[in-house]
Amino acid sequence: MPATGTGDRIAEALQLVRGTLPITRRVCQPGTAIYEAGEVFRSLHIVHAGVFKLVTRSSDGREQVTGLQFKGDWLGFDGVASGRHGADAVAIDTSEIWTVRYEDLLRACATQPALMHLMHVAMSREMTRDRDMLLSICTLPADARVAGFLQQWASALAERGLRTDQITLRMTRAEIGNSLGMKLETVSRALSRLARDGLIAFCGTGRRDITIPDVDALGAIAGRHAATLQ
């Protein structure tokens, strides 16, 4: 499958960063944290391969997956405001991360407007995504949220030119549930219902590999529910 326009944009962005800044690369195994909440903020990171989850914690022990970052997404913006990170960034797949010192980035931005805009776009996109997430969680029932999650995952892969005919979820049911504001049993049931209705199909031995015959049909089930509201 050829890279899409968005995929090209991501590649260009990565090029631009690599061309204008000193970066360090690092490969991470699933489970390793790039940074953790409370750590002093010094650097930003760009996902070059793999997937990361952002985990926000409260002082009393509650925790919440507040974002999933794919290739081209940035990590670490949460530290800019206070000088300390506000979440953990954990690899959920074998991943490669590029790291740039925030200081270097600021300096480079002064002479490279394109670079600055790039960063702003990344932050802006992330804010929009967070809000869409909030919208889904607050207004959709469990099944639609799971369907939306799969659709988002699939389109994230598609944008990056990766195969979407067969998808391997790199998260447990509990993690998916946490990121969607529901419990693991609810995720399991939702997936079973989606499979029964033919919107997805499990393949392979484990139950983490799925195929999505029609991505748009998945996205439509959110709308279908909303329609019954009126």
Partner DNA sequence: CGAGTCCTTGACCCGCGTCAACGGCCGTGG
Partner DNA sequence: CCACGGCCGTTGACGCGGGTCAAGGACTCG
Task: Please name the residues in contact with 149: beta carbons below 8 A apart, sequence gap of 6 or more.
Answer: 176, 179, 180
Distance CA 40, CA 23 (A): 19
Question: What single DSSP character describes residue 197?
Answer: T
Contact status, residue 185 vs residue 141, Cβ threshold 8 Å? no
Rg (alpha carbons) of the chain, rounded to whole number: 18
Give residues in contact with a second copy (CB under 8 A).
54, 56-64, 66-67, 77-82, 86-87, 106, 109-111, 113, 116-117, 120-128, 130-135, 137-140, 178, 181, 222-223, 226-227, 229-230
Number of H helices, E strands in the chain: 7, 11
Residue 59 interacts with, from DNA, a second copy, none (CB under 5-8 Å by kind): a second copy
Cβ 151 to DNA, closest distance in Å? 17
In whole angstroms, the minimum distance from the beta carbon of 165 to a second copy comes to: 26
166-225: contacts with DNA (CB under 7 A): 172-174, 177, 181-189, 191-192, 202, 205-208
Binding residues for DNA restricted to 131-150, rule: CB under 7 A:
141-143
Alpha helices, DSSP H only, in 21-100? Answer: none
- Residues lying near DNA in the complex (CB under 7 A) are found at 141-143, 172-174, 177, 181-189, 191-192, 202, 205-208
